[in-house]
A = this chain, B = another copy of it.
Amino acid sequence: MDEIEIPESHPRYESLLTRHRIEHGVDLGITSRQGLIAQGRGEAYDYLLGEETIPSADDAARAAAAHLLLADHAVLSINGNVAALVPGEMVDLAAATGADLEVNLFNRTEERMQAIVDHLREHGAEEVKGLTADGRIPGLDHERAKVDADGIGDADVVLVPLEDGDRAEALASMGKTELVIDLNPLSRSAQSATVPIVDNTIRAVPNVTAHAEDLAAASDAALREIVDEFDADAALDAAEDRIRSGGE
């Protein structure tokens, strides 16, 4: 059983759904111990943020959608928590933007890689990259450097939700346009992003998809204007202000 019955009107709907999906991810061998700890860190930041998508995060989601639509080759990177939390939502985003899906794990084992690929396929994914691992990200040690040469290796735009700081920085150093979803505006991942979306992944991914659908018919010039108008530093400052002021 993959989903539970929670009425969407339940005041803690999102929180209960998140918790259920993470637990299910553990059962499937997708979510790691480090993933559970990371989930907890996210819960604390989201609580301080007011558990809602703040306006600057919505702007960032729109800029991210524009980048994905403008890309020559966009790839959505998937780790254990992303696979557990938003498997169908990532498949929908890939469909809305023409992006590839690629599994990338901080603690890579073939067993977890396969479990995640299977989980994504159950949620409608067709091609899932990441198992070939014939490319490398410079500046990272062996296991963590692995990517598909025709996936993240080749991409000009990469969405990395919940990415570890080292890898986020290494991807940015490769000159790729990096779209990050991270609830901590002070994290290295958020700080190194072209577009940092400071929001809960479970809200942010469907929101980027909604913006991509809304912008599907927009001209490249209109998309470029959205991209150019986005100010990453201002978005990070707005998120930090919100966390510090308590979501009020």
* Interface residues, chain A, with chain B CB atoms under 8 Å away: 19, 22-23, 26, 33, 36-45, 47-48, 184, 186, 243-246
Contact = CB atoms under 8 A, between A and B. Distances in A.
A43 B22 CA distance: 19
Interface SS of chain A: helix, strand, loop or mixed? helix
List the number of copies, as a whole number: 2
A22 B38 CA distance: 13
11 contacts: A36-B40, A37-B37, A37-B43, A39-B40, A40-B40, A40-B41, A41-B41, A41-B43, A42-B44, A48-B243, A244-B244
A239 to B, nearest CB: 13
A44 to B, nearest CB: 4
A43 B47 CA distance: 14
Contact of A184 (B26, B41, B44): B44
Nearest to A40: B40
A25 to B, nearest CB: 10
